[in-house]
Chains A and B, each alone.
Chain A
Amino acid sequence: QSALTQPASVSGSPGQSITISCTGTSSDVGGYNYVSWYQQHPGKAPKLMIYDVSNRPSGVSNRFSGSKSGNTASLTISGLQAEDEADYYCSSYTSSSTLVFGTGTKVTVL
């Protein structure tokens, strides 16, 4: 199972919106509404930000939103803040009943 493809880096100024893409295949992202997104700060465990494509867990800011079109899922961060600077990973359920992560995206707040 190959890793899902994410851009290596995305940057934006405070207050702007950015979008991170996550591209897979019809055997993972495109085949199931089980895409999730994680935020990871240096030296910390990942934190769930979005599950089932577009649902936010309790306590996660509504500045984070998720969507999917075909084999590509997206995470949008609106009103970018300094604290959003971190690595972001997508994950998807697969047709093999396994899970696969994306390659990861480093978000920089300029």
Chain B
Amino acid sequence: QVQLVQSGAEVKKPGSSVKVSCKASGGTFSSYTISWVRQAPGQGLEWMGRIIPILGIANYAQKFQGRVTITADKSTSTAYMELSSLRSEDTAVYYCAREGYWFDPWGQGTLVTVSS
């Protein structure tokens, strides 16, 4: 049974970067795809991008191209999502999830607050 555990809440200044981790247990990490999804307060879900650890290939939603980097460390079964040039609109809960044309399971979510 795959479980995903994310890093803790972050408070960042506008213009800075944040890196959120997602550690997997159970299953074979390299064999599945990890996606990142965010949800701004009171808003809907938004797909940001994915990584396929076994291939080391990431692709991103057009909206986040150039500002997001998703990586994976197979040795620790951990995926990372780094978002740069943060602005107030990036305040959201960020989720990782195993992807297979659907999302399951999900991590518990990481709240990132961007505030001066």
A interface list, Cβ under 8 A from B? 1, 3, 32, 34, 36, 38, 45-48, 51-52, 57, 89, 91, 93, 96-104
Considering residues B37, B46, B62, B107, which has the most beta carbons from chain A within 10 angstroms of its beta carbon?
Answer: B37
Interface residue? B90 (CB, 8 A):
no
Where chain B touches its partner, the secondary structure class is strand
B interface list, Cβ under 8 A from A? 35, 37, 44-47, 59, 61-62, 95, 99-109
Interface pair B95/A45, CB less than 8 Å apart? yes
**Which residues of the partner chain B approach A102 to less than 8 Å between Cβ atoms?**
44
Complex CA distance for A101 and B38, rounded to whole angstroms: 11
Interface pair B102/A91, CB less than 8 Å apart? yes
> A99's closest neighbor in chain B, by CB?
B47
State whether A36 and B45 are in contact (beta carbons under 8 Å apart), knowing that A45-B109, A97-B59 are contacts in the complex: no
**Which residues of the partner chain B approach A51 to less than 8 Å between Cβ atoms?**
100-102, 104
Interface pair A48/B102, CB less than 8 Å apart? yes
Considering residues B45, B99, B100, B101, which has the most beta carbons from chain A within 10 angstroms of its beta carbon?
Answer: B45
Interface pair B45/A48, CB less than 8 Å apart? no
Sample of 7 more A-B contacts, CB < 8 Å, known A34-B101, A36-B102, A46-B45: A34-B102, A45-B95, A46-B103, A89-B44, A91-B45, A99-B47, A103-B44
State whether A101 and B46 are in contact (beta carbons under 8 Å apart), knowing that A1-B62, A45-B95, A45-B107 are contacts in the complex: yes
> A37's closest neighbor in chain B, by CB?
B102
**Which residues of the partner chain A approach B100 to less than 8 Å between Cβ atoms?**
51
Interface pair A45/B106, CB less than 8 Å apart? yes
Interface pair A48/B104, CB less than 8 Å apart? yes
**Which residues of the partner chain B approach A97 to less than 8 Å between Cβ atoms?**
59
